[in-house]
Amino acid sequence: MWTWLPTATLALVLQASPPQASDHLNAFRDPGARTLLMRARANWEILDRSILSYTATVRQRIGAHIRMPLKDRTIYRAETASRVWWSQDGPVVIQALAAREETPAGVSPPDEVTGLLDNVFDPAGDRIYFGFAADDDDDVDDPDEFWVEHPFAAGSEEFYEFAAGDTLTLSFPDGRRLQVAELRVIPREASIHLLTGSFWIEPESGALVRGVYRLAKKIDVELDLMVGENEENLPIPGIFKPMTFTISLITVEYALWDFKYWLPRSMRFEGQARAGILKVPGAWEVSYRIEEVVGVDEVEGATARFDAFLSADSVLETWQAESGYLLEDDWREMIDHPDLARRIRAETRRSVRGSHNGKEIYLLLPPDPESLHSSELLPPPIWKEAPGFTSEAELRDFAERLADIPAPAAAAPRLSLDWGFAREDLMRFNRVEGLSLGAQGVRPLDTPFGPADGRLVGRFGTADVEPVLELELGWGGVRRDFSFEAYHKLAAVDQGGRHLGFGNSVIALLFGRDDGEYYRASGARITLEPASDRRASWTWTLYGEHQESVERNTNVSLPRLFDSEHAFRENIEGARADQFGTRLTLKPFWGSERTGLQVGTELSLQGEVGDYQFARADATLRTAFSLTPKIRTAFEVAGGTSWGDVPAQRLWYLGGSSSLRGYDGSAVLGTSFLRARAEFARVYPVVSVSVFGDAGWAGDRGDIAVRDALFSIGVGGSVLDGLMRIDIARGLRDPTGWRLELYLDGII
């Protein structure tokens, strides 16, 4: 057991002069950085064959979610525990101790859990890329394969700059101490083939003790990977653009075994994939507890060590010694220990054979695979803290260290152009613009504030002759994103209703219903929010804009083909105003498991000065929980009010799927509002069926009355815990009627 103790300043302890290196392209920001890199490089180039075998208990966990504005939904989780016996010259034996794999369809049989085959650390392998080494089938010379410039490789000075950072002391239980130093790796440009991060080096040996790093740039599949058109590079459908992948954090940690060998302690990977509006963040983590190591000076003990692997404290002791599945005939020829094949045949009934990084792997499974689900050795889900894994405090510290590393310059400018149906967010339909198609150009830029992404959008509606122009500059960071936007555009009154999004456009075109209220906005704004790979739990904006009213300009829709009298309702008559304002929104959400407790809150504060001076605030509380394993319920309550002289475009509007199902948009409006909904659902794998009721009131704060409220009831169904919803709702008070609601991101 060892701990990290920061110290103010400690000199590097070097027994000899470090190898010399040229200041290639001024790669070293200080002499200490050169010393650390040379020591780390020398260690990296040595093939470590000093470990003949080791035994370790390995725990692994992984989780992936679908991220939407309301909440995250778990789509995959797996936890495993295994005992690994690694041999330098022979195959690897993995004994399954615990395994659980779950998808929306339910818990998978243990036979399908194959992640145990990856729980292998090779002492002679790369310490930075531990866990990500290529398999034998991968062609490393293939130009289409993804590659990264190694920061310790010879010539890396061409791609990176290096700086010495903090110095730490490792303190051991027996009182001994060891000093390590930080080497900061700074890429020369923002490239998907470069890393940025901190690597802690033991200066005498050059051994890597800890690494905290990430890719220097977000991967845009179309721009970065689909280079060089050929028949294999099929175009990405517009609904899945942008298609990106972010590696936000990779950590590797090592512990010193018996003051001889640096062996893995833990590793964590965090990233996010995106395809259009769909975001899928995920994390993978592995923890090692080394039990025994056999070095070159302990050859005679190797066989005895393996006997211990299959003995007293092993789960194998509880397995029935029956004649069962026999391993392949060539097992005896490949293993160095003559009695190993006989022992495994006698003490196990089943095994799985595979390979990883050129080594044969044998996975031993118990006679009763279901016992793996209930093992006490099963680690908790990745979103819960557990001993041996990276803590929340450590993750925050890692993020701070990455944020302190200077941002690299933007890569060579490349202009990305899309228009019309090439992207989902460039086409929309509403009763003001009609069918609106846009064109977009995106280009990386170097600015005085660091590298940024520049985005220019122009669009034109078939029913509205007013052009739309938006210019945005975005600066991405480890902790938060910052953006500046100048615009002349159509804006929606309810910013959370997504009335200018794809879903409302489909409803308007196919059903002739547009629940949004709109106005014209010309101005500029700055926005501060969490980094794009994090949940948007808060957003702050500061803006100044000119606002004008807009009218309904079209009645075109599919229902009008069958009913010439069908028409969209009129848009609100907004006020002409010059306004300066700010808005702060807080919306944390806890719980992503479909059967667990989920709680979310949303608080918004907004104020404006100018032709109209006012303030307003609203709050929402949501919760969902299971009454029985098959019955789930959800509740949502919300309220808001305003103070001052409020223009029409800043009133509260209720109606539609986001606030009051069963009623058209703007069924009730006012300077204050209250609303609630309740739902009971029968849960099946993947889908659920529910009954619900909604209630809503809007008006002046002093005139709250039940007689003025609207109520609705209905039945609905959802996929993946409300990710996609279909509801049939009926309003119980005038105007009564049935409405079919199709939308994304419901509470259950």
| Closest CA relative to residue 209, chosen from 438, 353, 4, 61 | 4
Q: Are residues 161 and 241 in the same domain?
A: yes
Distance CA 671, CA 248 (A): 42
Is residue 151 included in any domain, yes or no? yes
Same domain, 283 and 414: no
Position 582 in a domain = no
Q: Please report whether residue 714 resides in a domain.
A: yes
303 and 352 share a domain?
yes
- Residues 381, 269 within the same domain: yes
Lowest-confidence segment of 71-80, 82-91, 427-436, 457-466 by average pLDDT: 82-91
pLDDT in tens, 190-214: 888 999 999 999 988 899 999 999 9
- Nearest Cα residue to 265 out of 256, 274, 276: 256
Give the H/E segment covering residue 635. strand 631-644
CA 737 to chain centre: 41
Q: With left for phi above 0 and alpha for psi between -120 and 50, is residue 166 left, alpha or beta?
A: beta
Residue 485 counted as domain residue: yes
Asked which of 404, 431, 450 is the last residue of a domain, the reply is 404
Do strands 724-731 and 737-744 pair parallel, antiparallel, or not at all (unpaired)? antiparallel
User: What is the DSSP code string of 491-534?
Assistant: EES-TTTTTTSHHHHHHHHHHS-----EEEEEEEEEEEEE-TTS
The size of the chain, in residues, is 748
pLDDT in tens, 632-677: 999 999 999 999 999 999 999 999 998 999 999 999 999 999 999 9
pLDDT at res. 412: 65
Give burial (CB, 10 Å; 0-12/13-18/19+) of 359. Answer: middle
Same domain for 70 and 197:
yes
Around Cβ 111, how many Cβ atoms within 10 Å?
Answer: 12
Q: Among the listed ranges 233-242, 248-257, 394-403, 478-487, which one has the minimum average pLDDT value?
A: 233-242
CB 335 within 8 A of CB 90: yes
662: left (phi over 0), alpha (psi -120 to 50) or beta: left
Of residues 286 and 131, more confidence is placed in 286
Q: How many CB atoms lie within 10 A of CB 136?
A: 9
Q: Using the 3D structure, point to which of 356, 383, 404 is the last residue of a domain.
A: 404
Q: Do residues 440 and 559 share a domain?
A: yes
What confidence score (pLDDT) does residue 109 get? 63
Same domain, 568 and 596: no
Q: Which residues contact 504 (CB under 8 A, 6 or more apart)?
A: 430, 497, 498, 514, 515, 516
State whether 365 and 308 are in the same domain: yes
Domain enclosing residue 601, as ranges: 590-748
Q: Look at the chain and report how many structural domains it folds into.
A: 3
Which residue in 339, 337, 266, 265 sits closest to 301, CA to CA?
Answer: 337
The CA distance from 332 to 128, in Å, is: 34
Same domain, 633 and 713: yes
* pLDDT digit string, tens, across residues 473-492: 998 877 889 999 999 999 99
Q: pTM score, two decimals? A: 0.84
- At 13, the pLDDT band (50, 70, 90 cuts) reads very low
Is 65 within 8 Å of 71 (Cβ atoms)? no
Q: What is the mean pLDDT of the chain?
A: 82
Classify residue 646: in a domain, yes or no: yes
Render pLDDT for 671-689 as a digit per residue (tens, 0 to 9): 999 999 999 999 999 999 9
Q: For residue 612, what is the domain's CATH number?
A: 2.40.160.50
How far apart CA 61 and CA 378 sit, in angstroms, is 9
Cα distance between residue 437 and residue 433, in whole Å:
10
Q: Are strands 598-610 and 577-586 parallel, antiparallel or unpaired?
A: antiparallel
The dihedral over CA atoms of 669, 671, 672, 673, expressed in degrees to the nearest 10, equals 20
Sign of the alpha-carbon torsion through 206, 208, 212, 217: positive
Same domain, 548 and 564: yes
Same domain as 559, residue 595 = no
Residue 602 CA from chain centroid, whole number:
21
> How far from the centroid of its chain's Cα atoms is residue 655's Cα?
33
Reply yes or no on whether the pLDDT at 574 is more than 80: yes
In a domain, 583, yes or no: no
pLDDT digits (tens, 9 = 90+) for 515-566: 999 999 999 999 999 988 888 899 999 999 999 999 999 999 999 999 989 9
Q: Single out the residue in 370, 404, 438 at which a domain terminates.
A: 404
pLDDT, one tens digit per residue, over 241-252 is 888 999 999 999
Fill in the amino acid letter for 619: A
Q: What's the CA gap between 480 and 473, in Å, rounded?
A: 14
Q: Which pLDDT does position 138 carry in this prediction?
A: 41
Q: How far apart are CA 314 and CA 316, in angstroms?
A: 5
Q: Are residues 200 and 323 in the same domain?
A: yes
719 occurs within a structural domain? yes
Question: CA of 470: how far to CAs of 457, 519, 608, in Å?
Answer: 5, 16, 22
Single-letter amino acid code for the residue at 167: T
The answer as to whether 168 is a domain residue is yes
Structural tokens at position 570: 């009129």
pLDDT-derived band of residue 152, with 50, 70 and 90 as boundaries? Answer: very high
